[in-house]
Amino acid sequence: MIQIIKNIFAAKDLRERVIFTLVMIAIFRLGSFIPCPFISSSHMQASMSGGGLTGGVFGVADMFTGGAFSKLTIMALGIMPYISASIILQMMMLVIPRLEKIAKEGESGRRKITELTRRGTVLLAAVQGFGLGLFILSDPEMITASMREHKALFVMTTMISVTTGTVFLMWIGERISERGIGNGVSLLIALGIIASYPTNLRLAFQAVRLESMAPIWLLIVGAMCVATTVAIILIQEGARKIPIQHAKQMVGRKMTNAQTNYLPLKINTAGVMPVIFSSAILMLPSYLFGWIGANPGQGMGFFGELFSMQSRYNLYDAFGLSKGAIFLVLKAANLYTFTFVMLTAFFCFFYTAIVFNPQDVADNLRRVGAFVPGYRPGKPTAEYIDRVMSRITLVGAVFLCSVAIIPEVMFVSFNIPYAVAQFAGGTGLIIVVAVILDTMKQVESRLLMRHYEGFKSRRQVSGGGRRWAREKQG
């Protein structure tokens, strides 16, 4: 490990990228502690935990932002509006041919799509910021005394503050992707989740000390954390290898022999994006319905309760079950969990269809004189690859959905604190493991590229030395 770190800082380009990434991360974490104007942060946190909001979608939002949401800082919305804008734009590409044409225009098209995503981010952040300001008004104690008589001004101030924070996070994410290491947006989400781990660990031991959670659950959660992490790595790195046969070719005056290779198809091509997309979309109805039906001291109303993680409208209560044991799992079988699973499964196939085109792969194989044994080049090969891809994507989708709902089941069915249940699985663990793997691969590829450049530079120096010697002799 120490040698790897030495190799990273020995390469000038990689060292600059790592330092730039660390500086951007430090700025991101610093901004997570700057409160919005006219907010009582301590009362905000007490209201969230006291109202049971820390385990629902608000708890998910707080996890993604590294605690910025519960403190209501300028980065309370995090980077999720950017993710939501990306989802909406990709959906629109399927129904608006002009957008699809722009996306295929190469670098200029990519810049146009990026610009549209930025504008959509500002719009969504402003809408969510406006709703957040209205939600805060339901409890006047969250606002400083000087602003309680100026409600419109307070809502506008909150909206502008959190929108500015989201736009700044979007800029940081883009700069990290361009000049740093890793995918900037995914890295910011993963860092926000990791930042909450120390607090969650402290809450776990506090729950045991207060006897609100049995000590055996610490061992169960720890064992599940290790097992789930290993499973995530295996699925993320797992691939289905399709044999590829290269035909004999005439190269110059020589006939090359036929070669056998493999086309690796990843089990989880979509990576971590489906769970991020699902969480981002589910935040909107939870924000909306939680505010529409909310009255101070009277809960969230019917629709807010319907889309709540702890909704009483579940299979356990619907069948009137009174015995516990394994039937307690049915408490988590509510509309929130069902919607989350369906969205995650949908985005697994949707995102895979966007980033992987079987027809393009089949055309490329035919262009280089390669084929899949037993299938003719062209359309038959594309159909075979598409069939295999659909099957392995189904396996990846089932796995992602199963791991993602573990914290919800433990929290709703067995009353394990949501902060503790997050260690056993869920969206947070999937994102953290996937982002760390992706970042490690980028570091490794850059180290390997530097190694090749070193050989190249030595050949150039040697060639230059020989030319200098010949010129001197001449």
pLDDT in tens, 280-330: 777 666 555 555 544 444 445 555 556 666 666 666 566 555 555 566 777
Per-residue pLDDT at 159: 93
Amino acid at 464: G
CATH code for residues 13-195: 1.10.3370.10
Q: Read off the tokens for 329.
A: 């799992």
* pLDDT more than 90, % of the chain: 17
Per-residue pLDDT at 309: 62
CATH code for residues 214-474: 1.10.3370.10
State the average pLDDT over residues 49-69: 65
Per-residue pLDDT at 258: 59
By the 10 Å C-beta count (0-12 exposed, 13-18 middle, 19+ buried), 234 is classed as exposed
Q: Do domains 13-195 and 214-474 have the same CATH topology?
A: yes
Give pLDDT tens digits for 393-429.
Answer: 999 999 999 998 888 888 888 888 888 888 888 888 8
Per-residue pLDDT at 460: 45
State the average pLDDT over residues 174-200: 89
Q: Read off the tokens for 164.
A: 């500015």
Domain range list for the chain:
13-195, 214-474
58 phi/psi in degrees, rounded to 5: -65, -35
In b/e form, how buried is each residue of 399-424, taking b as 16+ CB within 10 angstroms?
bbbebbbbbbbbbbbbebbbbbbbbb
Give pLDDT tens digits for 437-451.
Answer: 888 888 888 887 766
State the average pLDDT over residues 89-102: 83
Q: Closest Cα partner for 212 from 409, 403, 418?
A: 418
Q: Read off the tokens for 136.
A: 């805060």
The answer to whether residue 53 scores a pLDDT higher than 50 is: no
More confident call, 472 vs 5: 5
Give pLDDT tens digits for 419-435.
Answer: 888 888 888 888 899 88
More confident call, 191 vs 466: 191
State the average pLDDT over residues 88-92: 83
pLDDT grade for 25, boundaries at 50, 70 and 90 = very high
Mean of per-residue pLDDT scores for the chain: 79
Q: Closest Cα partner for 55 from 420, 404, 330?
A: 420
Q: Read off the tokens for 176.
A: 């990290």
The answer to whether residue 41 scores a pLDDT higher than 70 is: no
Per-residue pLDDT at 253: 62
- Distance between CA 38 and CA 192 in Å, rounded? 24
Highest-pLDDT range among 34-48, 88-102, 163-177, 360-374: 163-177
Residues listed for the chain: 474
Give pLDDT tens digits for 158-168.
Answer: 999 999 999 99
SS3 call for 372: coil
Per-residue pLDDT at 325: 55
* pLDDT more than 70, % of the chain: 78
Distance of alpha carbon 204 from its chain centroid, rounded? 25
244 phi/psi in degrees, rounded to 5: -120, 130
Q: Closest Cα partner for 437 from 270, 233, 264, 275?
A: 233
Q: Closest Cα partner for 85 from 112, 116, 39?
A: 116
Neighbours of 26 (CB within 10 A): 10
State the average pLDDT over residues 462-468: 47
The answer to whether residue 63 scores a pLDDT higher than 90 is: no
**In 138-215, where does DSSP find H-type helix?**
151-179, 184-195, 197-209
In b/e form, how buried is each residue of 127-160, taking b as 16+ CB within 10 angstroms?
bbbbbbbbbbbebeebbeeebeeeeeebbebbbb
Per-residue pLDDT at 308: 63
| Cross-strand bridge partners of residue 371 | 245
